[in-house]
Amino acid sequence: MIAWNSLLDFVLTFVVGLLFGLAVKKGAMAFLLAIIGFIIAGYVGITFIPKISLTYEINKFFALASAYLKDFQIGALTVSLTVVLFLVGLAIGLWKG
């Protein structure tokens, strides 16, 4: 029989994954809408950020991402029930959020 503490840990891990998925989806949508708003404002002639170049920012982002990903190492990844429950909660949060 599973102890109540471990069952509660599993449920809370699932809920944390669910909430994290919801937050990521809402944050990504807000970021996307802000970028679309800046593009439309730039097209109309309203500039909020002077002298910004979209290609410069994209190139800077990819340079930083490649510098950090070069040093990124996963190590020994163990998949346990808590990781699986977190990922299921994350997926449901992203899907339904």
Query: Residue 30: which pLDDT band, with cuts at 50, 70 and 90?
Result: very high
Query: Residue 46: which pLDDT band, with cuts at 50, 70 and 90?
Result: confident
Q: Encode 73-92: b = buried (16+ Cβ within 10 Å), e = exposed.
A: eeeeeeeeebeebbeebbee
Q: Is the per-residue pLDDT at 77 higher than 60?
A: no
CB-CB contact of 13 with 89 (8 Å) = yes
Give per-residue pLDDT as tens, 50-73: 666 778 888 888 888 887 776 666
Q: For the chain, give every domain's residue range.
A: 23-71
| 0.75 exceeded by pTM | no
The whole-angstrom separation of Cα 44 and Cα 39 is: 9
